[in-house]
Amino acid sequence: MTHFCRAAILTFGLLAVSATADAQRPVKVFISVDMEGIGGVVTDQQLGPTGFEYNRFREFMTAEALAAIEGARQAGASQFVIADSHGNMQNLLIDRFPRDVTIIRGSPRPLSMMEGIDSTFSAVFFIGYHSATTNPEGVRAHTISSATLAAVKINGRASAESGLNAAVAGYFGVPVALVTGDEAAVGEVRALTPTVEGAVVKRAIGFHSAAVMTPEASQALIRDKARTAISRLREMRTYSEPAGPVRLELTYKNYTPAEMLSYLPGVERVDAHTVRFTGRNILEIPRFIQVATGYRADLTP
């Protein structure tokens, strides 16, 4: 407790009451787990069911999420919700997790990589994250869809998945306390919220190459940083977009998606490849992005 804090509590009874309530509130952590930023991942061979190393890397992805839980528990966190947030969103090996953990899996889901977050959480962790499609650096740098999108902007600024997801967390007043991935992914989150702890588990050489640590070393680093992140929770600052409408601009690699989306009321075509959608708040943005990148008339069932 700082000197200032002690003085304030002695002076204001109400503050003392709220500080006690805060201290008693269980430390609940929301963990969004992607795969491109998991230690050792360099190509699609590690990232999907047809890759020769995918099953092996599901193990490493699961182990990094577990390392984050262990580190956070050592610093006093007691409740965890894990959002499996890569590809088919069914990557994590759920039988490896402790019984008291809830795992969000499958898609679509309204808040996408942040489904399950609310204002009862004390911290958000981003595990296995990667940099934005507009970042020339970073292993597998892309935003939402490497196949279809060339840029994603929120309120006029280029955004990574981490920026969108940090703003969703910020809407609920929850800070991003830890990010893991290559140095480009960690750097992007630090630029938004400098208080975040970062675990750099690889150094990008190119889009499909990196100098990587062993899985054991990556997991040990993440465990340490998760512990530090939770022990520094009081210093963590939230990142949020200004209250009110949020402008999203999606730039496609092709023309036709932009042309067809502009038929929808509320969607404007900004240029040949770009559409603009304005959400009432940040929570509408992941919903729109999922429709704009995932809707097909032949969706089943």
Beta strands in the chain (DSSP E): 27-33, 77-84, 101-104, 123-129, 149-154, 157-158, 176-182, 197-206, 209-212, 246-252, 267-271, 274-279
Binding-residue pattern over the window 36 to 55 for Zn ion, x denoting contact by CB under 5 A: x-------------------
Q: Which CB, 129 or 258, lies closer to Zn ion?
A: 129
Closest CA to 261 of 285, 282, 291, 298: 291
> Measured between alpha carbons, how far is 110 from 274 in angstroms, rounded to an integer?
23
Q: Which CB, 91 or 122, lies closer to Zn ion?
A: 91
Number of residues that bind Zn ion (CB under 5 A): 4
Using CB under 5 A as the binding rule, whether residue 84 contacts Zn ion is answered as no
**Residue of 33, 34, 114, 126 that binds Zn ion (CB under 5 A):** 34
In the block, which residue shows the tokens 């750097």? 187
> Measured between alpha carbons, how far is 280 from 27 in angstroms, rounded to an integer?
30
Please, what is the minimum distance in Å from the beta carbon of residue 57 to Zn ion? 12
84: left (phi over 0), alpha (psi -120 to 50) or beta: beta
For the chain, state the CA radius of gyration. Answer: 20
Q: Which CB, 127 or 230, lies closer to Zn ion?
A: 127
Q: Which CB, 45 or 79, lies closer to Zn ion?
A: 45
> Measured between alpha carbons, how far is 192 from 189 in angstroms, rounded to an integer?
5
User: Are 167 and 173 a contacting pair, CB within 8 Å?
Assistant: no
Window contacting Zn ion (CB under 5 A); options: 19-27, 78-86, 95-103, 198-206 = 78-86
Please, what is the minimum distance in Å from the beta carbon of residue 144 to Zn ion? 9
Please, what is the minimum distance in Å from the beta carbon of residue 30 to Zn ion? 17
User: Are 181 and 213 a contacting pair, CB within 8 Å?
Assistant: no
Please, what is the minimum distance in Å from the beta carbon of residue 21 to Zn ion? 38
Q: Which CB, 84 or 183, lies closer to Zn ion?
A: 84
Window contacting Zn ion (CB under 5 A); options: 25-33, 63-71, 79-87, 269-277 = 79-87
Please, what is the minimum distance in Å from the beta carbon of residue 139 to Zn ion? 11
Lookup: tokens for 85: 């947030």
Please, what is the minimum distance in Å from the beta carbon of residue 28 to Zn ion? 24
Lookup: tokens for 47: 């990232």
Window contacting Zn ion (CB under 5 A); options: 31-39, 106-114, 170-178, 221-229 = 31-39
**Residue of 58, 73, 86, 227 that binds Zn ion (CB under 5 A):** 86
Lookup: tokens for 274: 């770009």
Please, what is the minimum distance in Å from the beta carbon of residue 230 to Zn ion? 25
- CA 226 vs CA 60, 129, 208: distances in Å: 17, 15, 27
| Residue whose C-beta lies closest to Zn ion | 86
- The residues binding Zn ion (CB under 5 A) are 34-36, 86
